Amino acid sequence: MKSIKTKFQAILPKDLSTTLIELREQKTTDVLLKPSGQRVIQIGVEDFKKINRRKLILLFRRVIALARANRAKKISINLADFAFAHLALASNDLAELAATNFEMANFEFIKYKSKPPEGWNFVEEIYLQGAESRDSRSGFERGQIIGEEVNKTRALANMPGGEMTPKLLAHAAREAVRGTKVKAKILGKSEIKKLGMGGIIGVSQGSNEDPQFVVLEYWGSPSAGSGRSKPIVLIGKGVTFDTGGLNLKPSAYIYEMHMDMSGGAAVIHAVALAAHLGLKINVVGLVPAAENMPSGSSYHPGDLLKSMSGKTIEVLDTDAEGRIILADALTYAQKFYSPRLVIDVATLTGSAAGALGERASAIFTPDENLEKLFRELGEESGDYVWPLPLWEEYEEEIKGTFGDWANVGKTRYGGAITAAVFLWQFIKESKIPWVHIDMAPRMTSIEGEFLSKGAAGAPVRLLIKLLEKYV
């Protein structure tokens, strides 16, 4: 889906085919006709003074949602109407925020739908007043690039499991970075086995589809001697379909498991976005991709898998497979890249959603400064996060009986925490700064976000802010 065509205008056109968007400090939203015949959508905002950054993001999306609801293909907007003085947003920040959320609200996954007789219902063109400055224009253009890449993440995550095997995900990763400075390398089953990635091999062995290990390298830092020359490594869970394996999921929980590679999709497109924006930074994306299927060759509860690190993993539940493949990816990152920061992103646990609801991803890190930075960047980007504890005391719950570490805790409580503590064991000794993002709560959009049903595209906006600002 292409970005909305934008025309920057000093004066909004009087073209009668263009719908004018206005804000009004009132409870109701009205659709009116001017004496000239031009249609106007007056968006009701009950109290301008109560608008904060979170509400502004939703307001931008409402603009597009209302335009689409009224089948307005072309709209006219004065961006200055959204520059609420008490928010003190710089012109480029306001424009970027607007463009990103206009694009996100204008997305719908239609790949498998027949085109309706009246055509698709998307906003095609925006006449934008109040953004004539160079900063505003560059901010808006940048926001469109961000929004477009978020939407590509959503499209990839929405792909049905039969159309998104590990090999197809690897192909999609290559296509996502084609034409950029990103180097893509795909490791197949034999290479994965040769590296000793017993976790990925174990999880994948019940499927007819071979596992893949996607490596994306973007070397954008011009100075080899600077602190930014060491890469930031992003790791995304790429389970292209998760049945739960022999610990088969109940029917109600299998339905959306084609989206269990949402973390991988986010990492792929975050790296692509860094390249599109020309960030002066080095970043590596790693996506272990596998299918978790029940069959005669599946790994079993009670199996002991030897990870790339040499640590053994005692499998107590085959449905806790994401952390197993991520463990191998964490070791690969340390062995081959000496990173200055590692971030893994995964739809890892339903427990995270149980703890936080569906409005924020859970984050875990032993570094309080990183925790604070991620919360701040979450607020700035709109990909909200909230911390849960990562205490050594929780290690007692995942100590193995016959192996080093069990892949689930000893009780049914705190599943998001024990999953994070499990991952911590595979990077803890290195002292490398590390953040785990359990994005399961944000896998799909929810009511009131003014986004189409399906994947939400989290946390691409957060990751790109982090890549820009982490020193």
- Report the C-alpha gap between 234 and 150 in whole angstroms: 16
H and E: helices and strands count for the chain: 13, 18
CA distances 119 to 60, 122, 124, 125, 457, Å, are 24, 9, 12, 16, 25
- Report the C-alpha gap between 249 and 173 in whole angstroms: 28
- Is 359 designated active site? no
Instruction: Characterize the bridge pairing of strands 39-44 and 30-33.
Output: antiparallel
Q: Which of 167, 230, 249, 428 is catalytic?
A: 249
Residue type, 250: P
- Report the C-alpha gap between 348 and 463 in whole angstroms: 18
Q: Which of 62, 74, 237, 323 is catalytic?
A: 323
- Cβ atoms of 142 and 93 within 8 Å: the answer is no
- Is 323 designated active site? yes
Name the nearest CA neighbour of 304 among 440, 196, 405, 233: 405
Instruction: Characterize the bridge pairing of strands 212-219 and 282-292.
Output: antiparallel
Q: Give me the DSSP letters along 153-208.
A: HHHHHHS-GGG--HHHHHHHHHHHHTTSS-EEEEE-HHHHHHTT-HHHHHHHTTSS
The residues that are catalytic are 249, 323
